[in-house]
């Protein structure tokens, strides 16, 4: 028998805190190259009459000219492709499990048709979340790959790539708050509770 009640809870708390600290330390470590290497770079037009200064995160003396390409490709794989495959794999497995479970539900029982419909809607919802993640982060990664892996990218830079870059930055930040919006449109239960809470809030204003 455990002579110290609550000992398991304290151990779990310590593990949680240690995990959180480790994640933050890893995040700081990953951010160090940008912190150390970022510098002010002057970009001028062809005749040098107009110059602008920008904060450039890739030092030109690190790994010669390969460093920007290495970092862009690493971010593309670690922050987009690998998470996308992991999320898609788990969500697809969840969706298949939900759909397959509907086949084991006796259709003649009262209320089962509603349960089957609800499970299929949940399966569609989780796949929509994967699509939202892919769409939100694709434009910025597409721009970065174009700009750092295309010869004479600065000469090919036109309004399309300029607007794609801006839209990509915006979508990256929008992704953090778009899931509740998507859930509002695809889930009737979520929409009902949200509308109910919103209407109650207006009453007390």
d(CA 63, CA 72): 14
What radius of gyration do the chain's Cα atoms show? 25
| Higher local confidence (pLDDT), 95 or 175 | 175
* Per-residue pLDDT at 117: 72
Regarding pTM above 0.75, the answer is: no
Q: Is residue 5 over pLDDT 80?
A: no
d(CA 21, CA 15): 10
* Per-residue pLDDT at 176: 81
Characterize the bridge pairing of strands 39-44 and 51-56. antiparallel
Q: Is residue 105 over pLDDT 60?
A: no
* Per-residue pLDDT at 8: 64
Q: Which two tokens stand for residue 12?
A: 């779990």
Q: pLDDT digits over 115-142, tens only?
A: 667 777 777 777 788 888 899 999 999 9
Q: Which two tokens stand for residue 98?
A: 């939900």
Q: How confident is the model at residue 52 (pLDDT cuts 50, 70, 90)?
A: confident
* Per-residue pLDDT at 123: 73
* Per-residue pLDDT at 203: 56
Percentage, residues of the chain above pLDDT 90:
25
d(CA 77, CA 70): 11
| Separation of first and last alpha carbons in the chain | 54
* Per-residue pLDDT at 21: 95
Q: Where are the alpha helices (DSSP H) in the chain?
A: 7-37, 66-76, 82-101, 112-149, 153-156, 159-186, 188-203
CA dihedral for 6, 9, 15, 19, sign (positive or negative): negative
Q: Is residue 1 over pLDDT 50?
A: no
d(CA 192, CA 105): 26
| Higher local confidence (pLDDT), 66 or 110 | 66
């Amino acid at each position: 028998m455990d002579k110290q009640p609550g000992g398991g809870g304290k151990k779990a708390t310590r593990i949680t805190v240690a995990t959180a600290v480790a994640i933050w330390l890893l995040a700081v470590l990953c951010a160090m190259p940008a912190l150390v290497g970022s510098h002010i770079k002057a970009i001028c037009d062809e005749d040098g009459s107009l110059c602008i200064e920008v904060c450039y995160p890739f030092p030109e003396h690190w790994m010669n000219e390969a460093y920007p390409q290495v970092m862009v490709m690493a971010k593309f794989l670690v922050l987009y492709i690998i998470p996308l495959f992991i999320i898609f794999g788990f969500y697809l497995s969840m969706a298949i499990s939900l759909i397959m479970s509907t086949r084991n539900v006796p259709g003649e029982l009262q209320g089962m048709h509603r349960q089957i419909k609800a499970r299929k809607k949940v399966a569609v919802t989780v796949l929509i979340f994967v699509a939202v993640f892919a769409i939100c982060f694709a434009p910025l990664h597409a721009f970065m790959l174009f700009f750092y892996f295309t010869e004479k990218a600065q000469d090919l830079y036109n309004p399309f790539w300029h607007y794609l870059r801006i839209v990509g930055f915006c979508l990256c930040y929008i992704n953090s708050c778009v899931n509740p919006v998507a859930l509002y449109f695809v889930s009737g239960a979520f929409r009902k509770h949200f509308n109910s809470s919103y209407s109650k809030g207006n009453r007390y204003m």
